Structure formats: structure tokens, C-alpha cells
Structure 1
Amino acid sequence: MEARRLVTALVVAVSLTGAVSGCALVPRPVETRLPPGAPAASAPASPTATSAPSQSASPSPLTTGASPSVADGTLSCGDGQAQSISGSEQTFTVVGTCTELTVSGSALTVDATDATIGTLRLSGDRLSVTAAAVDTLAVQGNDDSVTSSAAMSSVDVSGDRATIQADGAIAAVVVRGQDNIVQSGLGVGSATVEGRGNQIR
């Protein structure tokens, strides 16, 4: 009787052990489920390095040496250039050997005592030019004056009250106007005069 109870107890114990082992928890993989419409999380973007904008060096302006100009009142003909002057009530200095010098305006004074001029053209009133030498002179205007320290090939005056003086001879003179004076230290070759009160000597 006692042995039967022991066997029964063992059978029950074995059955309980099997039942418990059958109910043991088995680990399952974890799944994350998002609600519908929710964006999936993404890894933060790694910052990308941006290079600083390159700056190209702009060429610096070329500088040139200052040369005499009308702006500062001095002109240089160099060795055989032509120059021109225009304005009013100003004084200029001209140096060098000028193939041609043109002066236009009013009340201009030109000091060309250090210049030799091939052809001098005056256009305007109250213009005054003093030169070391003038070969050919053409004057259009009133109350103009020209003085040359050398001889002249020709003088052509169209206007009134001009005064032309040359230390050397003047080969040919043409005057149209009134009260003009053309004077040569060594005489005048030929003269054509139209108008009143003109003096050629």
C-alpha cells in the first residue's frame, strides 16, 4: 500500500515537471510597428564641408607716367608733333618742334618762346602768341597778335586790328580786313592788301 502511494506521487511529479517545461517562455524577436502615415526615422545626414568661394584677383589698372597736357597749361610738341589749344582767358606754354599749332577761342595767351612752329593757325579774338620761330601764319579773327623771333615764309590775315611782327623777313603777306599791322625787321617780299587802315612795313 505504501509503495503504491510513492509510485503515484512520482508519476504526478513527473507530469507537473513536463507541464511546466512545456509552458516555458521562448524569446521572440522584437518588432517595432509605427502608426499608419508616420514617416520612418532616418539617420541624421552627415554635414558636408563646403569650400569657401574663391576670389579671383582683378588686374590692377596700368599707370602711366604723367605727360604735359593742356590741363596743366603746358604742351610739348616733342620733335615734330602737332598740337591744338582752345579755351578762353587762359595762358599756355608750348615747347618743342611743332609741325602745326592751332589756337582757337578768345583771350588766350600762348608762350612759345621755346618752340619752333611750322604752321601756326589762329581762330578767334584777342589771341596772343609769342614764338621763337613761325614759318607759316594764318589768322582769322579780331585783335590777334603774333610775334616771331625769326623770318616767316607767309602771313595770311583775315580780320581786323591784328598785329604781326617778325624779327626776320616775311616772304609774302596777304591781308583782308581793317587796321591790321604787319611788320618785318628785314622787309616784306610781296603784299596783297584788301581793306582800309592796314599797314605793311
Structure 2
Amino acid sequence: MSFRALRRPAALAAVSALVGVALAGCALVPSARETVLPPAPAPVASTSVPTVAPSTAAPVPAPPAVVGDEMDCGGAAVQLSGADQDFTLVGECPEVTAGGTELDIDMTRATVGTFLLNGDRNDVDVASVGAIVVGGQDNEIDASAVTQLTLNGERNEVEADGRIDAVTVSGNDNRVTAGSLGTVADQGQRNTLAAR
């Protein structure tokens, strides 16, 4: 037997022994788990008296006030959301945003600047409004008069007793009826836009 043949088993035995010793320190030993939290910060004594500086920023309108079943916008923007709920808005409403399904929104006693509707199967009654933007399907809106109407959806119905100054439709199967219509941009298919 050659010297080389004897060295190989000896080398393998030495390497195996070293690996065994090295891994012996890695064995898992069960021990109790301990959670250590940092100490609580010490209270800081304050010697200064807080002062309030006068603000030069414009006052922010208060959030809408709810009185009974009515919500008074109070000059603030309003956001409505949910499913199968009734809302009645009154007062000055510069912007109303509604998102949901099967909402019943009455704004006939509110002054609305812009109404943004995202959702499906909502029923909306509004007096005169500056702009209405609808994104969704199967919504019904009854209005007195509208300055700008934008429909981005399918099967929406808008009826205005008075005039709609401008109509833009980007969906299909929508129906718009008004006392009179101003400019019309119909970019969809099977839409019905008519003046009575």
C-alpha cells in the first residue's frame, strides 16, 4: 500500500473530527425564553409655559354638522361613502364626493358647487349644481339645472328639469334628458342625449 493511499483515510478522518467538533457547539439546547424591554423614559419636568401664537392662516371650515337625519355642509367639502345608506345634505356644499353602492342622496336643499359620484346603483336628487362628474354604472341623478355634466360609465341616467350647459359622455348606454342642452360631446356608443 502506498503512502498516498494511507494519507487519504487519515485526512478524511481528521476533517470529519474537526467538523464534528465545530458542529457540537451549534447544538440546540432548550432554555427559557426571556423578553427584555427597554426601561421607561424618565418624566421630563417643563419649566416653560406654552404660548399660543396668533395664526395668519385662513380658517378651515368646520366638518359638516349632523342634525337629526340631515347633514349641514357648513361651507366645507363633504365625503359620503357606504352601501345601502340614505344621506340628506343642506347648506353650502362647495364639493360633495360620494362613493358607494345603492346610496340615496338628497341635496335638494343644498347649494352644491361640484358633485363627484363614484359607484353603482346610486339615486341622487340635487337642485342646481355647478358640475356633476359620474364614474360608475346604473346611477340615477335628478337635478334642477347643471352647468357641466361629465359621464364616465355605463347605463347612467341624468334628468334635469332646466338646462344642462355642457355634456361630455365617455361611456355607453347612458341617457341624458334636460329642458335644454348646450354643447354636447358624445364619445361613447348608444347614448341618448335629448332636450324636451
The TM-score by the shorter chain falls in which range? Answer: 0.5 to 0.7
- Count of residue correspondences: 130
SS at match of 1:195: coil
C-alpha distance in 2, partners of 1:166/1:81?
25
Deviations 1:129-172 (A, max 9, x none): 101221100000000111112x2111000011101111111111
Partner of residue 77 from structure 1, selected from 67, 73, 78: 73
Q: 1:199 is matched with which residue: 188, 192, 196?
A: 192
CA distance in structure 2 between the partners assigned to 1:189 and 1:92 by the alignment: 30
The one-letter code of the counterpart of 2:92 is: T
Aligned-partner residue type, residue 81 of structure 2: S
d(CA) in 2 for partners of 1:170, 1:132: 12
Q: Which residue of 2 aligns with 1:107?
A: 102
Structure 2 counterparts to residues 29-178 of structure 1, below 5 A: 67-68=65-66, 73-78=69-74, 80-149=75-144, 151-178=145-172
TM-score normalized by structure 2?
0.63
For residue 179 of structure 1, the aligned residue among 173, 185, 193 is: 173
One-letter identity of the residue aligned with 2:91 = G
How far the C-alpha of 1:189 sits from its partner, in A, is 1.0
Give structure 2 stretches of 5+ with no counterpart. Answer: 1-64
Please say which of residues 189-198 and 154-163 is displaced more in the overlay: 189-198
Structure 1, unpaired ranges of 5+: 1-66
* Runs of 4 or more above 3 Å deviation: none
Mapped to 2, the partners of 1:155 and 1:195 lie a distance apart of 15
Q: TM-score, normalized by length of structure 1?
A: 0.61
Higher alpha-carbon Rg: 1
Q: Residue 162 of structure 2: SS of its match in structure 1? A: coil
Percent of counterpart pairs with the same letter?
39
Q: d(CA) in 2 for partners of 1:113 and 1:189? A: 23
What one-letter code is carried by the residue in structure 1 that aligns with 2:166?
Answer: A
SS in 2 for 1:179: coil
Partner of 1:197, secondary structure, is: coil
